[in-house]
Amino acid sequence: MAVARPLRVLGLIAIGLWVFFLYQLFGPTGSPKAPGEHVENMDRDPNLDITGEPEGVILRRADKGYAPGPEGTSRINATLLSLVRNEEVDGIVQAMRDLERTWNSKFNYPWTFFNDKPFSEEFKKRTRAETKAEIRYGRAAFELQLIPAEHWDVPSWINEELFQESAQILKENDIQYGSMKSYHQMCRWNSGLFYKHPALKDTQYYWRVEPKVHFFCDVDYDVFRYMQDGNKTYGFTINLYDAPASIPTLWPETAKFLAQHPEYMHENNAMPWVTDNKRRPDHNSKANGYSTCHFWTNFEIADMSFWRSQAYEDYFNHLDRAGGFFYERWGDAPVHSIALGLFEDASKIHWFRDIGYQHIPFFNCPNSPKCKGCVTGRFTDGESWLMKEDCRPNWFKYVGLG
């Protein structure tokens, strides 16, 4: 009896050590945690933390000022950019009013509007009334802003019958706008053509604005200057999951492209973000390997040099030939996001946490006295299932709050 007890104790210690050893091997990985680990399940939204200007930002350049007009200012090579229809004039006027009030009235960056049809007199008159900045290119401004037919028209290799059949399938899968041809044209143009428009020949950066969006927070620094001085390629506010049925072959086509062009992968890419299958494995599997997480491109502040690079040009052409802009409903959001995630240095992609923004039904609303009209940390005022569409935690986890 006297010997049995110490043996039993030794046995328990041995089992304990073995379990500990297995835990070390297979258990959850411990510290250091990735920057966004704690928001994995949105326990803590970083929008709840007090937000100020990004680190190191210069508020205003004193040298030449920001007076409106083409000459002699501290502005850099950039424009506010909007593709818009005549019928959406109320919506774009409202969006302009918000952005002029919170930011552009201090910096007077020019506006550039694009349309597949000539702008109406009413559209010109009402948009001109909203800004003291240039609406671009002086006399010929509005004529230049017509999109060239070869950029907008459905390309010759797209088969109309096949498009109609595919539209039916998209409809059965509840893909919004799936059978609306102009929506497909818009997504293709925003993916790979807008930056080739002659009116943007001398422009490097743009801030995309859609009708009816809202801006809530005063921004007191030159955002484009921040992009340039900070070597940023791309800025976003909201990160969302996409509907897998709109992009079933986007990732397989991307994989084919990568096999042909492994040299385009950036060494500091965001591949783990692009291919995450942990938070919503259903999305990853239905999209055949892509998480579907994307920058929501109705807001984007970006350097067109990236879209104009050989890597992106080749990628877009590959996708365009594959036909998915029409036979599926590839959006410019997943296309831009995958390209950035693979071919760009992830540290050059910036979350503009300080720009309060809404495009129905989602918000980016920081915790800052500079914001009015949105609720701090509220991601959506729509139905509760929409919360699940937020995939910012993935970006924070794999790349950081940057």
Ligand X SMILES: *[C@@H]1O[C@H](CO)[C@@H](O)[C@H](O)[C@H]1NC(C)=O
Closest to Mg ion by CB, 75 or 188: 188
- Quick one: 29 exposed, middle or buried, by C-beta within 10 A (0-12, 13-18, 19+)? exposed
Query: What mask, x for binding ligand GDP by CB under 6 A, covers residues 128 to 167?
Result: ----------------------------------------
State the nearest-atom distance from the C-beta of 183 to ligand GDP, in Å.
6
Q: Which stretch binds Mg ion (CB under 5 A): 87-95, 133-141, 210-218, 316-324?
A: 210-218
Among positions 40, 49, 116, 345, the unique one binding ligand GDP when judged by CB under 6 A: 116
How far, in whole angstroms, is CA 23 from its chain's centroid?
39
DSSP-derived letter for residue 241 is E
The answer to the question of residue 96 lying near ligand GDP (CB under 6 A) is no
The one of Mg ion, ligand GDP, ligand X, none whose footprint includes residue 377, by CB under 5 to 8 A per kind, is none
State the nearest-atom distance from the C-beta of 359 to ligand GDP, in Å.
6
State the nearest-atom distance from the C-beta of 49 to ligand X, in Å.
23
Among positions 45, 88, 130, 390, the unique one binding ligand GDP when judged by CB under 6 A: 88
Note whether 259 and 320 are within 8 A (CB).
no
Residues 6+ apart with CB under 8 A from 110: 79, 80, 133, 134, 135, 136
Q: Which stretch binds ligand GDP (CB under 6 A): 81-89, 93-101, 265-273, 346-354?
A: 81-89
The answer to the question of residue 85 lying near ligand GDP (CB under 6 A) is yes
Q: Which of 41, 29, 36 is nearest to 400 (CA)?
A: 36
Query: Contacts with ligand GDP in 6-65 (CB under 6 A)?
Result: none
State the nearest-atom distance from the C-beta of 100 to ligand X, in Å.
23
Residues 6+ apart with CB under 8 A from 19: none
How many Å apart are CA 67 and CA 59, to the nearest integer?
16
Closest to ligand GDP by CB, 52 or 361: 361
Closest to ligand X by CB, 211 or 235: 235
The answer to the question of residue 112 lying near ligand GDP (CB under 6 A) is no
The one of ligand X, ligand GDP, Mg ion, none whose footprint includes residue 39, by CB under 5 to 8 A per kind, is none
How many Å apart are CA 261 and CA 103, to the nearest integer?
41
Note whether 343 and 181 are within 8 A (CB).
no
Applying CB under 6 A, the residues found at the interface with ligand X are: 77, 202-204, 230-231
Candidate list 300, 328, 344, 389, residue with the active-site label: 300
State the nearest-atom distance from the C-beta of 331 to Mg ion, in Å.
11
Is 253 among the catalytic positions? Answer: no
How many Å apart are CA 325 and CA 185, to the nearest integer?
8
Query: Contacts with ligand GDP in 252-291 (CB under 6 A)?
Result: none
End-to-end Cα, the chain, rounded Å = 64
Q: Which stretch binds ligand GDP (CB under 6 A): 83-91, 120-128, 193-201, 299-307?
A: 83-91
Strand 362-364: give its sheet, edge to edge.
214-215, 357-359, 362-364
Number of residues in contact with Mg ion under rule CB under 5 A? 1
State the nearest-atom distance from the C-beta of 360 to Mg ion, in Å.
8
How many Å apart are CA 249 and CA 239, to the nearest integer?
21
The answer to the question of residue 170 lying near ligand GDP (CB under 6 A) is no
CA distance to 39, 151, 178, 293, 402, per residue, from 173 (Å): 31, 28, 9, 19, 36
Which residue in this structure is represented by tokens 């073995």?
A: 18
Query: Which residue number has the CB closest to ligand GDP?
Result: 182
Among positions 210, 218, 220, 314, the unique one binding Mg ion when judged by CB under 5 A: 210
Closest to ligand X by CB, 168 or 231: 231
Q: Are strands 362-364 and 239-241 parallel, antiparallel or unpaired?
A: unpaired
Q: Which stretch binds ligand GDP (CB under 6 A): 16-24, 125-133, 181-189, 269-277?
A: 181-189
Query: Which residue number has the CB closest to ligand X?
Result: 77
Q: Helix, strand or coil for residue 390? A: strand
Closest to ligand GDP by CB, 295 or 343: 295
How many Å apart are CA 271 and CA 251, to the nearest integer?
12
For the chain, what is the radius of gyration of the CA atoms? 24
How many Å apart are CA 324 and CA 330, to the nearest integer?
6
Query: Contacts with ligand GDP in 350-379 (CB under 6 A)?
Result: none
Catalytic residues: 300
